[in-house]
Structure 1
């Protein structure tokens, strides 16, 4: 069978290459097309490109390796691409869309958090504080407002962040204060 004056295998191959290139371009420049998803929520460019890619790949493979009729191959390719596209949506795209967007932190979000000194802060000097977070441990350089030092293992409260340096003071938990009375 021929389409547009070219063998159907060649058409499948060209569509596959074009869909692959559009997918790569969408990965890099997809933010421009995210607005389409807001206007038409049922149109997802990822699913459309994946469907075209699956369809053309299945059609090309089936045309190259089997002797089935071209109309049957088109129907079979549609079914295969519909199944693969549905699986892609259910098992990859939907879980990714409901996942946490970012596990990163801002320096301002560290203010008010309690950390532990891992490198002692000398008088009028710098040490290092480690703060536990959902995504792991955050280690940052630290100094104290007052001029006295802080020993290793001391819990500290982050009061301010300037130029990536945490300004801390020793932290006493209210339970510890009541127990010592």
Structure 2
């Protein structure tokens, strides 16, 4: 069967090449296209079209089934493969990416250890242990007192990338 003067296997192969290249291009510059919104997912659309073209080309080339049946089978199989890609790959990746992030207000009340001494009127560095790894933050003394290296500290507040801390023992005495 022919469509637009080309055999269907040629159209399927052309679609496979085109959509495969677009998928590769999307992987490289996908962040620019994220502005399209949540209702349109280019990854799923391109994967559906690529799977559809690949299945159609293979079935046109290797079988003698009616072209309408081939298109229907290709659409169903690519829909299933795209759904599996979404459920088993894209959703877990999206949730894992969010779980590693933190906001500075989450650091309030956490304890850490001074890795670079904090002078009374200057900056030092603390290391805050966490489930997904350690967080290193620039720190200042909340009470403008010297906090030596190795001291356990309590984060009182954090803003603009700087944690205001006080020695944990001192904070325990205040409460």
TM value normalised by structure 2: 0.71
Residues 108 and 155 in structure 2, CA contact (< 8 A), matched pair in contact too:
yes
Aligned to 2:103: 106
Aligned to 1:164: 161
Residues 143 and 166 in structure 1, CA contact (< 8 A), matched pair in contact too:
yes
1:45-60 paired onto structure 2 within 5 Å: 46-60=43-57
Change (3 A) 1:143 1:97: closer
Change (3 A) 1:52 1:138: same
Give distance in 2, aligned partners of 1:152 and 1:17. 59
1:136 counterpart SS class: coil
1:97-154 per-residue CA deviation (whole Å, 9 max, x = no partner) reads 6657342122333233221112222343332111122321011122213443212222
Q: CA RMSD in A?
A: 3.3
TM value normalised by structure 1: 0.69
Give distance in 2, aligned partners of 1:86 and 1:114. 43
- Unpaired segments of 5 or more residues in structure 2? none
Aligned to 2:10: 10
Cα shift at 1:61: 3.4
The answer as to 2:125 corresponding to 1:128 is yes
The alignment covers a number of residue pairs equal to: 168
The answer as to 2:113 corresponding to 1:116 is yes
- Unpaired segments of 5 or more residues in structure 1? 38-43
Change (3 A) 1:45 1:162: closer
The answer as to 2:142 corresponding to 1:145 is yes
Aligned to 1:32: 36
1:68 counterpart SS class: coil
Out of 92, 101, 113, the residue aligned to residue 89 of structure 2 is 92
Residues 103 and 134 in structure 1, CA contact (< 8 A), matched pair in contact too:
no
**Which piece of structure 1 moves more, 159-168 or 4-13?**
159-168
